[in-house]
Chains A and B, each alone.
Chain A
Amino acid sequence: MANRINREQVKHVAELAKLEFTDDQLDALTPQLDDIIGLFESLSEVDTDNVEPTTNVTDQINVMREDVADNWGQSAALLKNAPDAARGYIKVPTIIDESED
């Protein structure tokens, strides 16, 4: 294996992405990502000196509109989608982990 990405790097990227993997999953994922990144590296064969990047294929630039609220006043329907809610608020677990104090 060419080792373009190793297991520790995969764990680091997972942390950035707010994902976690079991050891078995890491064993399977690391070589898969390595293969795919190997394909990515083929791009180095393309001469892109003096080539501008394309991040957007439209010709629309700086489209403006009035900042007007619409379709609002649906808090009850929105809260129905929340995993946990009470008295018009979304409930979450303790934000500050007290065990770390």
Chain B
Amino acid sequence: MDYFKQDLASLHADLVAKKMSAKELTQATFENIKATDPKIDAFLHLNEDQALAQADALDQAGITDDQPLAGIPLALKDNLVTKDEPTTAASKILENFTPVYDATVVSKLAAAKMVPVGKTNLDEFAMGGSTENSAFKTTKNAWDQTKVPGGSSGGSAAAVAAGMVPVALGTDTGGSIRQPASFNGIVGMKPTYGRVSRWGLIAFGSSFDAIGPMTRSVKDNAMMLSAIAGHDDHDLTSSDKAVPNFAADLTAATSVKGMRIGLPKEFLADGINDDVKQAILAAADTYRKLGATVDEVSLPHNKYGVAAYYIIASSEASSNLQRFDGIRYGYRAKDVKNLEDVYVKSRSEGFGAEVKRRIMLGTFSLSAGFYDAYFLKAAKVRTVILNDFKAILKDHDFIMGPVAPTPAFNIGAEIADPLTMYMNDILTIPVNLAGLPGLSLPAGFSNGLPVGMQLIGRPFDESTLYKAGYAFEQNTEFHTKVPALGGQN
């Protein structure tokens, strides 16, 4: 069975026609993971027994034509809580934590009868861009195991790219779906803020956090987003806007003809790798050939995005992570004599260096005497950046540009230099500040490593991004390339 090359629709057709059973597909998935993951280290936890039992039950009940995701294996980033299955956020502080409920996205995919096979590695509490901040292991890039997979959803990205699972969920606070998707040559969507319920996502930056699909193709991604999106009473920031059947719009007739695309000059400025620039310029030409107009536009305050984000997101994190106090759940330090010791020692021993750094930055930015100069100023700059996007999107259907300034970098190269690591997020962060949807998809290669393109849309207009991404895919070959170690290929 060579399901690595099949998309979700084709896997579904085979399951309905009983060319293979859900159990066979699940078994093949675990065989694949066991053969491949020792090289990649994408998974923190596998749940083989439950997955096989679930697949068996699906086979007994029969998979019908109206259940497009039934029986499809799925990996979940380990900051999404799963009832009775360990959930660590890749932190020592949650090493022995077992949630008592499922995240809304997990419940929705269970209702769609998908088969979760395990939890994937991430930067601790999703703070990082290389997955090196995990307390447990460093995931490797699917294309070159000396390179980082990106982050923080590096485990999900590498698992999909290496052919271990057809789809995974990631989360994106400042680029954590789009950048690892770009580094691994797959498709990742950060939906509009509020499109997908955050209930059960371990909170990092609550005004930014978004959950989205990571897949091998645009159409697979569109199918997955329709399945996880929608209002949820448990997340009052989730939107009650109707959720389209995004994949239904993606057909042979899908076209970008007549669309106006903005290409911000700041996205191709100094500091962006030449191969990355060339890939984006070539993609702009592809869109022109397909009948779209590509205009040079400007996001004049883009360069302030990183500073504004690291103030606001760290402030939100410092507040959200106060709940880890060593009392009700999670790690508690040994030999503590009083309550203050429980808090201070449990947190100091339980959190890793990057998480502590962000808590410190956030606590500083919110503290008496500094609040106005840092937090409040950053919140105002957030408005300015939002207005820059609004001005472009008033008369452009979407914005295009790179995802990251460079392709995947070497493991160990930047981990000692937090500021350099933060600056890598310069092209993804502004989209989170503005709450807009952003789609990352394969658009080229640089020395054998994938290069991604980012499409940024109006609020709740993921549909246009999927159409534009699909049109690009239909006219290019990048998404068909797979890494040499890839699964069964």
Interface residues of A (CB under 8 A from B): 5, 10, 13-14, 16-21, 29, 32-33, 35-37, 39-40, 42-46, 48, 51-58, 60, 63, 65, 71, 74, 77-78, 80-84, 90, 92-97
Contacts and interface: CB of A to CB of B under 8 A. Distances in A.
Nearest to A45: B304
Interface string B423-464: 000000000011100000000000000000000000000000
B377 A19 contact: no
Contacts of A95: 338-339
Interface string B84-112: 00000000000011101100000000000
Given A82-B327, A82-B329, 17 more contacts: A18-B322, A18-B325, A18-B344, A19-B351, A19-B356, A19-B359, A33-B360, A33-B364, A44-B377, A46-B381, A57-B193, A57-B207, A58-B193, A71-B100, A78-B100, A83-B327, A83-B331
B318 interface: yes
A46 B377 CA distance: 9
Interface in B304-334: 304, 306-308, 310-311, 318, 322, 325-332
Contact of B364 (A13, A54, A58): A13
A82 B328 CA distance: 5
B365 A29 contact: no
B357 interface: yes
Interface stretch (B64-72, B232-240, B402-410, B465-473): B232-240
B381 A43 contact: yes
A65 B231 CA distance: 13
Name B's interface SS.
helix
B154 to A, nearest CB: 22
B289 interface: no
A53 B380 contact: yes
Contact of B301 (A16, A46, A54): A46
Contact of A21 (B308, B340, B345, B348): B348
A84 B100 CA distance: 18
A29 B337 contact: no
A5 to B, nearest CB: 7
Contacts of A92: 327, 339, 342
5 contacts: A18-B325, A18-B347, A53-B379, A60-B237, A81-B97
Contacts of B422: 36, 39
Contacts of B100: 71, 74, 77-78
B409 to A, nearest CB: 19
B148 interface: no
Nearest to A57: B435
Contacts of B332: 83-84
B338 A13 contact: no
Most buried by A among B339, B340, B347, B364: B364
Given A63-B236, A81-B97, A32 B357 contact: yes
A5 B310 contact: no
A93 B435 contact: no
Contact of B365 (A19, A40, A65, A71): A40
A65 B233 contact: yes
A13 B96 CA distance: 29
Contacts of A83: 326-327, 329-332
B401 interface: no
B457 to A, nearest CB: 14
B336 A93 contact: yes
Interface string B378-406: 11111110100000000000000000000
B419 A36 contact: yes
Contacts of A97: 337-338, 340
A92 B337 CA distance: 10
Interface in B185-204: 193-194
B140 to A, nearest CB: 26
A48 B377 contact: yes
A3 B226 CA distance: 50
B438 to A, nearest CB: 13
B419 A39 contact: yes
Interface in B50-86: none
Interface string B352-366: 000011011101110
Given A36-B422, A60-B194, A77-B100, A93 B237 contact: no
Contacts of B485: none
A51 to B, nearest CB: 5
Nearest to B377: A43
